[in-house]
Chain A
Amino acid sequence: MLEIKNLSFAPEGDKQILKNISLTIPDGKLVVLTGPNGGGKTTLAKMIAGINMPTSGSLILDGVDITDKDPTERAKLGIGYAFQQPVRFKGFTVRDILNLANGKPLTEDQLDEVLLKVGLEPKAYKDRDVDTKLSGGEIKRIEIAGVLLRKSKLTVFDEPEAGIDLWSFNSLISVFEELRETREVTLVIISHQERILSIADEIMLIQDGRLGMKGPREIMYPLICGDGCESCPAMEEGDCYGRDN
């Protein structure tokens, strides 16, 4: 379980990017973080991965305070992060970066398997360079493949759908669904995609640096993707998840 307590981030002093966010990511769940561009989702994800350090507040992973731990330590504690904007490396092939992600050299079969999972034809990609010659969608899928290999306890995928074609996206959805079914890993997916929202256990809305509404998919999905409050079952029960929850 990851507990985020009163997390704030103001890198330049006055401009608050994250404003006192508190939330809990339960084990074995698929949690989707959604909300408008610039709302602070990536900033929060980088804070979970240890790339950004908070101005105040804390992060607790399975009861251990990880607020001061660096990205390497957090990776070793079981946190994974698939970047929204994947990084390119001159001189690295797809094989090289996936071997690094895996921590030891992959067999050909393992390499093929993970590439197929993200919709890449292994033969055509294994030995290509991870440089500017790859398209946005290609590098994105390699990024996701690397993070999948790590089998982290908790993984944050930052807009995995971006730049990906429909075929690969379908394949990716099944990967997320399969992982979710095992209930052995925790998935945090930052997304605007209805298809991804529809497989969430919980949905949280991050807006203007704050946690807006949050709740189970059954309640949140119709609010976000359906007819708003009219279609929300909580309306009838007088149990609104909005605003101050």
Chain B
Amino acid sequence: MEEIIRDQQAAGTAAESSVANAAADMAAKIFGGEAQPNAMAQAARVLKGAPEEAPAEQPAEPAKPVFEETPVDVDSVTAKLLETVANFNGTGFCGAFNIRSNGKSLGRQSTEHIHIDTKTDNPGLDIHIAPGTRGEEVYIPACVTKAGYDDLVYNDFFVGKDADVVIVAGCGIHTETGEPARHNGIHRFFLEEGARVLYVEKHVGTGAKGPKKVIDPQTECFLKDGAYLEMDTSQLGGVSSSVRKTRATLDGKSTLVIKERLLTDDDETAETFFEVELNGEGSSVNLMSRSVARGNSHQAYQSNIIGNTICYGHSECDAILAENGRVDAAPKLSANSEDAQLIHEAAIGKIAGEQIMKLRTLGLTEEEAEAAIINGFLK
């Protein structure tokens, strides 16, 4: 819409603008009624015989800070885990980061705007992101590579007013022998007014199949007016058991988006609990969980969206069952205000036979079709 207004202004007078409107209608017809504004504007120009417009000036984005790479020396197993969970390139990280391995820091760096400090009361970090920090990324991956090690860490993120950053967390466990290894990460996020955070978290277990690899993340989020937090979490194999608890409290007109991807196989279990309280007028949450349960694995999903005022909550939980996989889903909506608008959608079932058939008529084998459907679904 913004674009069409801009393009129409570019078209000049009001009279010309109505020509552009008619042309846009025509374009909508040509393109099947669902043409995008740029397509319509473009068609309007073509129909008017006007030359291609140079794109209007965008307000200049502050330049993204560039950091030199700080080398990180890790063993090859840890390097592989870091590559999977934190896009590690094998040599180092740029910007702010802390690498945790078997409870110790293997490397840390703060930047001018992002300070990473060791907690004084508990194991873990206080991460302060200065107000207005833009375009920076923070990496705080954790690895466990010792059988029998039980890692517990508390990380708190204080995100200043109007900051806009990406936080990459994630945990990899690699063990070859019998004793269970565990990582329990307790994260809290405090977003000030207008702060925007994209939080990306990947969990993975590698090594021998027998030994247990346990990841139990607990997350608490506090969003002030105008804050936006998007959490993209995925656990795509090898984690024997996980219990994920996420709680969020939204004040003012803040927004929380959670995208969860989960794949369990063999005898793995995964439990997920979400609880979101919408306290701010105009606050909203969108919770999207997609999971696949294969082998003899079991997943349990629980969510509760609590609307206490004019607010919007949507949750969507889709699960695919394969082999003997089992899924329980208990989505709950609690509206404590007549102005709360809460929606839930859920679907559990095996891959639709017609989806497999469709892909087979495109030349894929049954196995290829299943793999393609699951990959797409979890993408």
A201 to B355, CA, bound (A): 33
Please state if B361 and A124 are interface contacts (CB–CB under 8 Å). no
Q: Which residue of A lies closest to B352 (CB)?
A: A87
Residues of B within 8 A of A137 (CB): 32
Cβ of A224 within 8 Å of any chain B Cβ, yes or no, is no
Closest chain A CB from B262 CB (angstroms)? 14
Interface residues of A in 161-187 (CB under 8 A from B): 165, 167-168
Give which listed residue, B32, B290, B357, contacts A90 with CB less than 8 A: B290
Cβ of A60 within 8 Å of any chain B Cβ, yes or no, is no
Please state if B379 and A91 are interface contacts (CB–CB under 8 Å). yes
Cβ of B363 within 8 Å of any chain A Cβ, yes or no, is yes
Please state if B379 and A76 are interface contacts (CB–CB under 8 Å). no
Interface residues of B in 24-58 (CB under 8 A from A): 29-36, 38-39
Residues of B within 8 A of A124 (CB): 31, 34-36, 39
What 0/1 readout, one digit per residue, does chain B (3-24) give for beta carbons within 8 Å of chain A? 0000000000000000000000
Given A71-B357, A89-B373, A92-B376, decide whether A120 and B32 contact each other with a Cβ distance below 8 A: yes
A30 to B32, CA, bound (A): 26
Which of A15-23, A95-103, A208-216, A228-236 lies at the interface with chain B? A95-103
A79 to B365, CA, bound (A): 15
Closest chain A CB from B39 CB (angstroms)? 5
Residues of A within 8 A of B35 (CB): 121, 124
A71 to B30, CA, bound (A): 36
A81 to B29, CA, bound (A): 28
Cβ of B335 within 8 Å of any chain A Cβ, yes or no, is no
Please state if A91 and B377 are interface contacts (CB–CB under 8 Å). yes
Please state if B361 and A71 are interface contacts (CB–CB under 8 Å). yes
Interface residues of A in 38-69 (CB under 8 A from B): 49-51
Please state if B361 and A165 are interface contacts (CB–CB under 8 Å). no
Please state if B36 and A123 are interface contacts (CB–CB under 8 Å). yes
Please state if A101 and B362 are interface contacts (CB–CB under 8 Å). yes
Q: Which residue of B lies closest to A119 (CB)?
A: B32
Q: Which residue of A lies closest to B369 (CB)?
A: A72
Cβ of B323 within 8 Å of any chain A Cβ, yes or no, is no
Cβ of B358 within 8 Å of any chain A Cβ, yes or no, is yes
Residues of B within 8 A of A146 (CB): 362
Interface residues of A in 189-207 (CB under 8 A from B): none
Residues of B within 8 A of A121 (CB): 31-32, 35-36, 39
Residues of A within 8 A of B176 (CB): none
Please state if A51 and B376 are interface contacts (CB–CB under 8 Å). no
Given A91-B290, A121-B35, A167-B30, decide whether A100 and B361 contact each other with a Cβ distance below 8 A: no
Closest chain B CB from A100 CB (angstroms)? 6
Residues of A within 8 A of B364 (CB): 72, 100
Given A120-B31, A124-B39, decide whether A80 and B376 contact each other with a Cβ distance below 8 A: no
A74 to B378, CA, bound (A): 29
Please state if B31 and A83 are interface contacts (CB–CB under 8 Å). no
Q: Which residue of A lies closest to B374 (CB)?
A: A91
Cβ of B338 within 8 Å of any chain A Cβ, yes or no, is no
Given A121-B39, A123-B39, A137-B32, decide whether A150 and B362 contact each other with a Cβ distance below 8 A: yes
A165 to B33, CA, bound (A): 9
A74 to B365, CA, bound (A): 11
Cβ of B372 within 8 Å of any chain A Cβ, yes or no, is yes
A50 to B373, CA, bound (A): 20
Closest chain B CB from A152 CB (angstroms)? 10
Given A119-B31, A124-B34, A124-B39, decide whether A87 and B358 contact each other with a Cβ distance below 8 A: yes
Cβ of A135 within 8 Å of any chain B Cβ, yes or no, is yes
Closest chain B CB from A121 CB (angstroms)? 4
Closest chain A CB from B133 CB (angstroms)? 30
Interface residues of A in 89-138 (CB under 8 A from B): 89-92, 96, 100-101, 103, 119-121, 123-124, 135, 137-138
Residues of A within 8 A of B360 (CB): 50, 70-72, 75
Please state if A165 and B32 are interface contacts (CB–CB under 8 Å). yes
Please state if A51 and B363 are interface contacts (CB–CB under 8 Å). no
Cβ of B359 within 8 Å of any chain A Cβ, yes or no, is yes
Closest chain B CB from A108 CB (angstroms)? 16
The 5 A-B residue pairs with the shortest CB-CB distance in the complex, in nearest-first order: A91-B376, A71-B360, A75-B363, A124-B36, A87-B358
A residues near B (Cβ < 8 Å) are 49-51, 70-72, 74-76, 79-81, 83, 86-87, 89-92, 96, 100-101, 103, 119-121, 123-124, 135, 137-138, 141, 146, 150, 165, 167-168
B residues near A (Cβ < 8 Å) are 29-36, 38-39, 290, 318, 352, 354-355, 357-366, 372-373, 376-379
Having A141-B32, A146-B362, one finds 12 other A-B pairs with CB under 8 Å, namely A51-B357, A75-B360, A87-B354, A100-B372, A121-B31, A121-B32, A124-B31, A124-B39, A150-B363, A167-B29, A167-B30, A167-B31
Could you list some 8 contacts between A and B, CB below 8 A? A49-B361, A79-B361, A86-B358, A87-B358, A89-B376, A120-B31, A124-B36, A135-B34
